[in-house]
Amino acid sequence: MGKKSVSDFLVTENFALNRTNFLIRLKSQVKLPTIKPGQFVNIEIFNSKEIFLRRPFSVFEVDYASSTLSIIVKILGRGSKSLTEIQPGEKLSLIYPLGKHFTIPNQTDKVLAVGGGSGLAPMLFLARESGLPPENVDIIIGARSATDHIDVSAYQKYGNIQFTTEDGSIGTKGFVTDHHFLKNEIGQYDKVYACGPDGMMKAVAGLARKAGVFCEVSLENLMACGFGVCLCCIEPTVNGNLCVCTEGPVFNINDLKWQI
């Protein structure tokens, strides 16, 4: 793992993307190191007296010229809610960059990136950073309903974005695994990546394994320290019990002891 830092970032923007997701843009006072898709930051919830543990969030975008990075925060509990209430001009303490990143595809690869919920953040970051021509990148984003999706039109130039909704209000009706790219055509891809709820990633992994396609997932185990000290993020793997924060969060599915 490369060098990690702890520092205060200035909140430059914080706005709602939909009912439950917010985009927070954070400016570093020093030059940012290289941050790759799948890596995350661990944020102190400074504006709450009751929350002592930092909360982990995947990096969504990085702009090295302005030393800013952004995250997408989905409101789940008190920590994430508190973050979405932070005002531009306030500061947040970040430990960064943490974890191992996704394998960057080869320039001839055909890839499929699958994001569910806030798991779309590292998937869009990967699509953008891959440097692949957009025709080589398919992206499926799953949500319950149309109102749970966010506007990702700025990312259409990095790949072919498809939506699924459980209620069929936009895109393919059902789960991401009901989309024909996954259900029927997974064999056409060189690499499949997924980030989202556990059930979704296991379903994607099951299809990829069956088709013999390379597949990496980014686990969202509960975390505290974020750098391998507290051991609260352990995941059983073929290489023993590993800390998701340091040995992951990105894992090849063949290394996980999932029953898929």
Ligand X SMILES: Cc1cc2nc3c(=O)[nH]c(=O)nc-3n(C[C@H](O)[C@H](O)[C@H](O)COP(=O)(O)OP(=O)(O)OC[C@H]3O[C@@H](n4cnc5c(N)ncnc54)[C@H](O)[C@@H]3O)c2cc1C
What SS3 string covers 199-232?
Answer: HHHHHHHHHHHHHCCEEEEECCCCCCCCCCCCCC
Gyration radius from the chain CA atoms: 18
Residue 213 interacts with ligand FES (CB under 6 A): yes or no: no
Q: Please, which residue, 100 or 191, has the CB nearer to ligand X? A: 100
Would you say 187 or 236 has its CB closer to ligand FES? Answer: 236
Which of these, 160, 159, 191, 195, lies nearest to 176 by C-alpha position?
Answer: 195
154 binds ligand X (CB under 6 A): no
Which C-beta is closer to ligand X: that of 73 or that of 225?
73
Q: Does 58 bind ligand X (CB under 6 A)?
A: yes
Smallest separation (angstroms) from ligand X to the CB of 154: 17
Residue 127 or 186: the one with the smaller Cβ distance to ligand X is 127
Amino acid at residue number 125: F
H-helix or E-strand spanning residue 245: helix 244-247
Binding partner at 78 among ligand FES, ligand X, none, C-beta below 5 to 8 Å by kind? ligand X
Q: Tell the smallest beta-carbon distance from residue 247 to ligand FES (Å).
A: 9
Measured distance CA(7)–CA(28) in Å, rounded: 8
Q: Binding of ligand FES at residue 146 (CB under 6 A)?
A: no
Question: Rule CB under 6 A: is residue 53 a binding residue for ligand FES?
Answer: no
Strands 137-143 and 61-63: unpaired
Task: Give the largest CA-CA distance in the chain.
Answer: 51
With tokens 């982990």, the residue in question is: 56
Interface of this chain with ligand X, residues 59 to 88, rule: CB under 6 A: 71-74, 76-80
Residue 228 interacting partner from ligand FES, ligand X, none (CB closer than 5 to 8 Å by kind): ligand FES
Distance CA 15, CA 231 (A): 34
Six token digits for residue 122: 């590292």
Compare residues 196 and 249 and give the one whose CB is closer to ligand FES: 249
- Rounded Cα–Cα distance for residues 118 and 148 (Å): 10
From the list ligand X, ligand FES, none, pick the one residue 230 interacts with, judged by a Cβ distance below 5 to 8 Å according to partner type.
ligand FES
Residue span binding ligand X (CB under 6 A) among the ranges 10-18, 143-151, 172-180, 214-222: 214-222
How would you write 102-154 as a 3-class SS string?
A: CCCCCCCCCEEEEEEHHHHHHHHHHHHHCCCCHHHEEEEEEECCHHHCCCCHH
**Would you count residue 260 as binding ligand FES (CB under 6 A)?**
no
Instruction: Return the one option of ligand X, ligand FES, none that residue 76 interacts with (CB less than 5 to 8 A, by type).
Output: ligand X
Task: Decide whether 213 or 224 has the Cβ nearer to ligand FES.
Answer: 224
Q: Which spans of this chain sit near ligand FES (rule: CB under 6 A)?
A: 223-226, 228-233, 243, 245
Q: Which spans of this chain sit near ligand X (rule: CB under 6 A)?
A: 40, 55-58, 71-74, 76-80, 118, 121, 220-223, 249
